[in-house]
Amino acid sequence: MEKNIVTHNYRINREVRRKSYGHDTFLIFFTGLSGSGKSTIANVLEQKLFSEGIKTYVLDGDNVRRGINRGLTFSPEDRSENIRRIGEISKLFIDAGIVILAAFVAPYKKDRQHI
């Protein structure tokens, strides 16, 4: 399978976007218990950053589970897969020059460290 996958390097990359947008790009990962205010804090921070001209996007656990992670359960394996996918989605947004605010329940230390 690996031999069929080719990495393409484009001229418009993270560094070009960073210079154009005037800010760096990164992930802020909010984690905690359900109902602890992760999404609320991410929303308030996004409003502040956005008002300062910073390109942002919030990835919220409930919203992501309604789409790309719809088929996942709350088993330990699926919880880990949920967070792994969030990490991959975040990498794409980071490459696109967006500051990501991710609000998720992530009960396993190994998954948080992976992100």
**In this predicted structure, what is the pLDDT of residue 9?**
86
**In this predicted structure, what is the pLDDT of residue 21?**
94
**In this predicted structure, what is the pLDDT of residue 1?**
67
Quote the DSSP letter at residue 98: P
pTM of the model: 0.85
Question: Per-residue pLDDT for the chain (115 aa), expressed as one digit of tens each?
Answer: 678 888 888 889 889 999 999 999 999 999 988 889 999 999 999 999 999 999 999 999 989 999 999 999 999 999 999 999 999 999 999 999 999 999 998 888 888 888 8
- DSSP, residue by residue, 35-86: TSSHHHHHHHHHHHHHHTT--EEEEEHHHHHTTTTTT--SSHHHHHHHHHHH
Q: What is the CATH number of the domain that holds 22?
A: 3.40.50.300
Strands 27-31 and 99-104: parallel
In terms of residues, how long is the chain?
A: 115
Contact (CB, 8 A) for 31 and 104: yes
Range of the domain at 55: 2-114
Domains contained in the chain, number: 1
